[in-house]
Amino acid sequence: MLDRAGRYAELAERPRTVEFLIAQWHESVGNILLDSLGLPEEVVEAVKEIDVPRAFVETPRSLSDVVYVANLFAGGFWEMQLLDIPNLEEPKELSYGRYTELQAEMDEACQEMISMF
């Protein structure tokens, strides 16, 4: 999506528009990609609607719950803010001790992944 957006000068001049377009389209593009790669239906379904606010996930009980919470900590709330979601509030998961106490471990894992590139 970013590659294609870079081909249009008017989008380069309006980066907020690019952010909005990515927020609007990335879920459907991601689902199509996962499906075309032949991932199990359970995985494809778990990724659907990860940017849609839901009831507080105190204890993840499904793959969808795990992916949702992980997405929040990977910047998903910022993406939600780019969408036109009425009465959007910061998800409780982002301040829930059970998850926030894992922040150092998440940051370390993220840095390890980044160092591979």
| Confidence at residue 1, expressed as pLDDT on a 0 to 100 scale | 63
Contact 51, 64 (CB under 8 A): no
For residue 11, what are the contacts with CB-CB under 8 A and spacing of at least 6?
5, 17, 18, 21
- Residue-wise pLDDT tens digits, 27-69: 788 888 898 999 999 999 998 888 889 999 999 999 999 999 9
Sign of CA dihedral 37, 51, 80, 25: positive
pTM for the structure as a whole? 0.76
How would residue 2 be classed by pLDDT, with cut points 50, 70 and 90?
A: low
Token digits of residue 47:
């990724």
Element (H, E) at 30: helix 15-36
- Residue-wise pLDDT tens digits, 79-100: 888 888 899 999 999 999 999 9
| Confidence at residue 18, expressed as pLDDT on a 0 to 100 scale | 74
The percent helix, strand, coil of the chain (3-state, each to 5) is 65, 0, 35
Q: How far is it, in rounded angstroms, from Cα 69 to Cα 75?
A: 10
How would residue 15 be classed by pLDDT, with cut points 50, 70 and 90?
A: confident
